[in-house]
Structure 1
Amino acid sequence: MENTEWKGHYNKLEKSCALPSTTLCKAIQLINEGFDPPQEIQAVDLGCGNGVDTAAMLQEGYHVLAIDKEPDALRHIAKTLAPRYSGKLRVLLSPFEDLDELPANNLVNASFCLPFCPPDHFAPFWSLISQSILPGRYFSGHFFGPRDSWSSNTQMTFHTKQAVEALFRGFQLSYFEETAKNGKTISGKDKFWHVFHVVAQKEKVLE
């Protein structure tokens, strides 16, 4: 998206009641059930965008690093964030291809953002994501399939079902759903969505 499109995107979201992604909600449930007693949870929200997922994690008491390449995204989060969460949030302005490290974490959330990583950078970026997740902890997010309306965009990354499954070697898939349907973008444009919805737990290290 161009900057003007992003501004329109956030303006529309401010007027709507956007909900956190289903994959994130499932991951939060698994994490909260698995942490006994409750522990300090570190999370990374990739492509945080409008901040809805970031806010959901903060409300759970998580410490969140929110990353986006759009200054308007981070300004939107700062504008709408409740002051009581400010001590648990860090923000980072960066495109995915410029990241060379991620902190060790309990959850990487990537809602509808990974397809926007350029294909030449996807493999090293995915390795960075995978390595940052602690054993027994989680990934939640989405990948676009080859039938998606945007699949002709050579600056975006698309995956077959087999390719998505291959990314999660060393993980247990807690939730995996493929959807292919007509719909609309947040700006109201018609679009065919081919999406893989994933929640996965990184395998624990055997002692």
Structure 2
Amino acid sequence: MQSRDPGRPSGWGAYYAHHRERPISSLLGAALERLSPQVNWRQAIDLGCGSGNETRALLAAGWDVVAIDQELAAIEMVSAIRADFPGVCLETRAQQFESLAILPAASLIHAGMSIPFCHPQHFEKFWAQVRAALLPGGLFVGQLFGNRDDWAGDPSRTFHSESQARGLLQGLDLIRFEAHEYDGPSLRGTKHWHRFEVIAQRPAPHA
């Protein structure tokens, strides 16, 4: 995860260790199933890599990965994965989304519950970098936070209405766009969740 979350304990090492064995995101699983058979250049970016579950899954599937997170505890944990996958390349960056200058071109960009933690003042520039990095035929897979989420009053995070979220994806082919709204657990107790789950593809040029 990209940024400090008030729903999380202050001990980031313990938090990441606790989540190390969870299954990978079903959204990423669906994207890999769709994309892997048809892509030749397997370069992925994992934005807000956290404990590295999705980075590990990408490496295991034969993807080179650039894993980015602002928390050093996350980067240290993800860097330790490198030795398990000698046949692929893993680059790690301890960096905030707000300070990213450029992202490498990629066929897959994964952002698991992370990009809403980019500060609203920087989100437009950051999102433009994400879109520019996505290669023709490539997939963006991740979540956006909705404007009815209980955390929507936090001015340091970015939230969108459904129409705003769809506007961010204009020009991409929507493979999946699902709104989820429910009361459920967080590490601070029950909260109201509102998010959009997205798989979107940059159209390939016509032959």
Q: Map residues 129-144 of structure 1 onto 2, 5 A cutoff.
A: 129-144=130-145
* Unmatched segments (≥5 aa) in structure 1: none
Identity of aligned residues (%): 33
Give, as a single letter, the amino acid of the residue that structure 1 aligns with 2:194: H
Query: 1:112 aligns to what SS in structure 2?
Result: coil
Are 2:12 and 1:6 aligned? yes
Q: Secondary structure of 2:93's match?
A: strand
Mapping of residues 1-207 of structure 1, within 5 Å: 1=4, 4-14=10-20, 17-35=21-39, 39-79=40-80, 81=81, 83-86=83-86, 87-185=88-186, 187=187, 189-207=189-207
Contact 1:71/1:93, CA 8 A, preserved across alignment: yes
How far apart are 1:183 and its partner, in Å? 1.4
Divergent runs of 4+, >4 A? none
Equivalent pair of 2:17/2:51 in contact (CA under 8 Å): no
Q: 1:147 to 1:89 in 2, by over 3 A?
A: same
Aligned-pair RMSD on alpha carbons?
A: 1.7
Amino acid at match of 1:196: F
**1:20 aligned partner, one-letter code:** I
Contact 1:40 1:63 in 2 (8 A): no
Query: What letter matches 1:40 in structure 2?
Result: W
Looking at structure 2, the residues matched to 92 and 66 of structure 1 have their Cα atoms a distance apart, in angstroms, of 6
- What secondary structure is seen at the aligned counterpart in 2 of 1:141? strand
Unaligned runs of at least 5 residues, structure 2: none
- Number of residues of Structure 1 aligned to a counterpart in Structure 2: 200
What letter is aligned with 1:176?
A: F
Amino acid at match of 1:173: L
Per the TM alignment, residue 182 of structure 1 is displaced from its structure 2 partner at its CA by: 1.3
Cα deviations across residues 101-139 of structure 1 (Å, max 9, x unaligned)? Answer: 000110110010011000000001000000100111110
Counterpart secondary structure, 2:10: helix
> 1:150, 1:8 → 2: CA distance?
23
Contact 1:97–1:121 (CA under 8 A) maintained in structure 2:
yes
* CA distance in structure 1 between the partners assigned to 2:119 and 2:154 by the alignment: 10
